[in-house]
A and B are shown apart, each in its own frame.
Chain A
Amino acid sequence: MTVTTIHPILENLKTSEINIQESKKALSFLEKLSFPTRKTEDWKYTKVSKIIKKKYKQSFASCGINPIEYINKDLDAINVFVIDGVYCTEHSDTNSLEGVFIENIGENNVNYNTLVNNEIEIFTAINTAYAVNGISISVQKNVEVDKPIHIININTEDAIIANTRTLIVLEQSSQLELVQSYFSKNVKDTFTNSVNEIIVKENANFTLTKLENEGEGSYLIALDQIKQLSDSTIQINTITKRQGFARNDVNVLVDGQNCATYLNGIYRPINKEHIDNHTRVDHLKPNCTSSEIYKGVLNDKSTAVFNGKVIVHVDAQKIEAYQKNNNVLISDQATMNAKPELEIFADDVKCSHGTTTGQFDKEAIFYLQARGISKATAKEMLVEAFTDEVYNEIKNKNVVEYLKEI
């Protein structure tokens, strides 16, 4: 057991044993890395000072609670639990699907820690250095998983740091839908530092829908690092409900031709919640499309950030990349920071991006009122209509119902 004192929040944390060599490397990077400040371009509008001032503890008890109440029957999913950052095998379904392996990430897993960049990203390095364990999901060649897999993360104690780690590999022509939910049990000052590494091989089809709902007193930093090979399709949906702080990074490396990449998000912060969505799509190869819709409804004194980067690399011709970010500010005191970024180094591409931030259409509200719909209901109807554009992108209607119900 190695105890480091490089950063105060990491004091007394036990080093990850998923892969000793990788965690040691991550620790050595951490010695040189510092936490982002306002001057760090990618963190300009998101302060982490609150998170790093706190002291956290790891949990090692697998399955501290019985999580049955978190199962949503209508989802008809294979349920996998992560409690206080620890993969709980006892209550998880594991062997019920043919051609799909859900297991602990083993020391000899060749894909582990190959996509992420521990050398630069401090929170990723923390995850690699301190993850108690991790989940590996691999889908064999030509296997189409007909039920979604639902990873349910629950934080049950105050001041827990949950370095959840997931590795997903879809072999050629396979298909998987994953739902990843984040909850907490009336706790505060928890910090979930989640890393997903996702490899989607040739002609495979992957959908990930994240539901972030840990409550107002919880911090969440989540990274999806994805690599797509030829003819593959991915859809990543990030739905943030009650979450005091969230920073989401969805990074997609499109490393094959004829790929389709769909990134969608909804965030509806209230009170003083802060939600930051960063996306980055790197088109390395020609003939691909990427499409993004992120929508925000901001209330009270909440703040949100959207930063969508699309990089079309040299020789990645015939790329079509679309990006849209629309926001509604319900309160005068809410703040939205939106920044779409396009970097194009190829000459035969179709790209567009647009971002809008406005208020509710007063005329529409009055029209609904004049027909006998109360102001509160009118606003709800308009919010629903506004966010439905994103929900409509999600094919599995059970998942949409689940997201709306929570």
Chain B
Amino acid sequence: MSNTIIKIKDLHASIDGKEILKGVNLEVKAGEVHAIMGPNGAGKSTLSAVLAGRDEYEVTSGSVEFLGKDLLAYEPEERAWLGLFLAFQYPIEIAGVSNMNFLKTALQEKSKYLGTTPLTAREFLKRVKEKASLVELNDKLKNRAVNEGFSGGEKKRNEIFQMAMLDPKLAILDETDSGLDIDALRIVSKGVNTLKTKENATIVITHYQRLLDYIVPDFVHVLADGKIVKTGDKNLALELEDKGYDWI
């Protein structure tokens, strides 16, 4: 029990009165990689949005325990401080806010919340250098405004760079593979795999099996119509790729 990272119990959520999640159950333990697959409109992105704390969604029943805490009671920034990370399907461009200032502020606020010693300027820069090389993000991109003028692939690499900097306990990758060419996919996957440890966990949300050739899951779940309808190992993903979602 002690190595459970997240435990989602009978989670129901709706937006504008329309129920999207209709009782999701999922437990992820430390060291595991879970893939959530499913057709469009199944509720995959809603699940990640609810976990990250988007306030447009209303949780109508159910619970989410994250490292023993009631996740849904926390603000989005507190969830990040506790160790939740969401890699956005569509990373936002923020004009005028530099990537570095953004990360520095995020790390400062996190250490303030946790009561840990903040990184010195030198340590911060060292970490930036180390983590940026992981996803082959060059200096020019690091120093620009957040995601501004980044290509699709650069944005996704920037997400993984941020993930590396923040060192989360649980990373949720929301359709990180969408729109990526094979080189970017390889770089992003390498980043994710390098960051994997026995203490953290990853949830990979995807529509396609292709990503799972690179980030190999321990479990594959199929989300359809707001519920997890099937769970298996990585072979389930291959089967889905073959037969399509209608087969479920």
Residues of A within 8 A of B (CB): 361, 363-364, 366-375, 377, 381-382, 384-386, 388-389
Contact = CB atoms under 8 A, between A and B. Distances in A.
B241 interface: no
B194 interface: no
B52 A371 contact: no
B53 interface: yes
A53 to B, nearest CB: 42
A367 B91 contact: yes
Contact of A373 (B52, B91, B96, B109): B109
A99 to B, nearest CB: 39
Nearest to B49: A366
A385 B53 contact: no
A368 B96 contact: no
A374 B81 CA distance: 10
Contacts of B105: 373, 377, 381
Given A366-B76, A377-B105, A377-B109, A372 B96 contact: no
A381 B98 CA distance: 10
Contact of A372 (B54, B92, B109): B109
B75 to A, nearest CB: 7
Given A370-B80, A370-B88, A374-B109, 16 more contacts: A364-B94, A367-B146, A368-B106, A369-B80, A371-B102, A371-B106, A371-B162, A372-B81, A372-B107, A372-B109, A372-B113, A373-B77, A375-B75, A377-B109, A385-B94, A385-B145
B185 to A, nearest CB: 23
A197 B76 CA distance: 53
Contacts of A363: 92
B187 interface: no
Interface in B72-113: 75-77, 79-81, 86, 88, 91-92, 94-97, 101-103, 105-107, 109-110, 113
A386 B91 CA distance: 19
B94 A368 contact: yes
A371 B96 contact: no
Contacts of A372: 77, 80-81, 106-107, 109-110, 113, 166
Contacts of B81: 372
Contact of B97 (A366, A374, A375, A382): A382
Contact of A367 (B92, B96, B109, B110): B92
Contact of B75 (A361, A369, A371, A389): A369
Interface residues of B, number: 30
A377 to B, nearest CB: 6
23 contacts: A367-B94, A368-B97, A369-B76, A369-B80, A370-B52, A370-B77, A370-B79, A370-B80, A371-B162, A372-B77, A372-B80, A372-B106, A372-B107, A372-B109, A372-B110, A373-B102, A374-B109, A377-B109, A381-B97, A381-B101, A385-B95, A385-B97, A389-B96
B187 to A, nearest CB: 21
Contacts of A373: 77, 102, 105-106, 109
Contacts of A370: 52-53, 76-77, 79-80, 86, 88
A362 to B, nearest CB: 9
Contacts of B54: 366
A389 B94 CA distance: 13
Interface in B22-63: 52-54
Interface string B101-140: 1110111011001000000000000000000000000000
A382 B88 CA distance: 19
A368 B102 contact: yes
B166 A371 contact: yes
B92 A371 contact: no
A204 B164 CA distance: 53
Contacts of A368: 94, 97, 102, 106
Contact of B94 (A369, A375, A377, A382): A382
A388 B96 contact: yes
A297 to B, nearest CB: 13
Nearest to A374: B77
B67 to A, nearest CB: 15
A44 to B, nearest CB: 32
A388 B94 CA distance: 13
A363 to B, nearest CB: 5
Contacts of A386: 96
B66 to A, nearest CB: 14
Nearest to A392: B96
A385 B95 CA distance: 7
Given A371-B80, A371-B166, A385 B92 contact: no
Most chain B Cβ neighbours within 10 Å, of A364, A370, A374, A386? A370
A325 B86 CA distance: 35
A363 B92 CA distance: 7
A100 to B, nearest CB: 37
A319 to B, nearest CB: 29
